[in-house]
Amino acid sequence: MKKPKHNIIFEGPELAGKSYLMSQIFDYLEPKYNSGGKIMDGCHWFNCDVGIFGTKFGSVALLKYLELMEAINDTNVMVEKFHLTEAVYQKLYNNSTFDITNIESRLAHIGAKIVLVTFDEDESLVAKRLQDRLNLYPHYNRIAQQPKDYIKQQQMYLDLVKDSRLEYLIVNASVLPKRDLVDDILDFLHEN
């Protein structure tokens, strides 16, 4: 089974819960659209930001991942952080404006949709998530910020997504796990 094909971009501030929600959506899409072989080919998941967005190579990486998304035209693709992240990071860390117009045109052409994962603007919630992240990945301490900084990131994502030409869904992942959020995303994809 190979129809329909989804190109889903999960965006949002760090600590929002993107990876968890993506794992749930992947667990639904991959077996449903798997070709039946020994390879998990029903959905591909790319974690695009591995320390590259916000650097001089961010736009290069975006274009290469976009070429890959355009080439994979027969199965589902999910990306974790993409063009909105590059725009947010360029603004935050380089005081530079990243124009997303061309990338959004190409993403629209392949029917890409955005799921913006957010959290309540509660510094204690963010502090707890930050501590959980540090417990799992001590090296994250090198880039850890104050809770208010993650909330600022979130506002930048919200401002950007409202001007996007792509279809988008905003979900609040303050409480995880929460099956309703997965169902909301599947409804948005017309999978429920």
**DSSP code per residue over 138-192:** GGGGGT---HHHHHHHHHHHHHHHHT-SSEEEEEE-SSSS-HHHHHHHHHHTT--
Q: The tokens 């104050």 sit on which residue?
A: 146
Domain membership of residue 38 (yes or no) is yes
Which one-letter DSSP state was computed for residue 50?
Answer: S
CA–CA gap between residue 76 and residue 135 (Å, rounded): 32
pLDDT of residue 125: 98
pLDDT of residue 2: 56
How confident is the model over 145-152, as a mean pLDDT? 98
Ordered strands of the 43-47 beta sheet: 43-47, 76-80, 7-11, 113-118, 167-172
Mean pLDDT score of the chain, rounded to an integer? 95
Domain membership of residue 171 (yes or no) is yes
Domain membership of residue 12 (yes or no) is yes
Number of domains in the chain: 1
Domain membership of residue 1 (yes or no) is no
Domain membership of residue 70 (yes or no) is yes
Domain membership of residue 173 (yes or no) is yes
pLDDT of residue 66: 97
pLDDT tens for 92-140 read 999 999 999 999 999 999 999 999 999 999 999 999 999 999 999 999 9
pLDDT of residue 73: 86
The CATH number assigned to the domain holding 14 equals 3.40.50.300
pLDDT tens for 54-72 read 999 999 999 999 999 999 9
pLDDT tens for 35-45 read 987 899 999 99
Q: pLDDT band for position 22 (50/70/90)?
A: very high
pLDDT of residue 86: 97
Is the pLDDT score of 148 beyond 60? yes
Domain assignment of residue 178, given as a range: 7-188
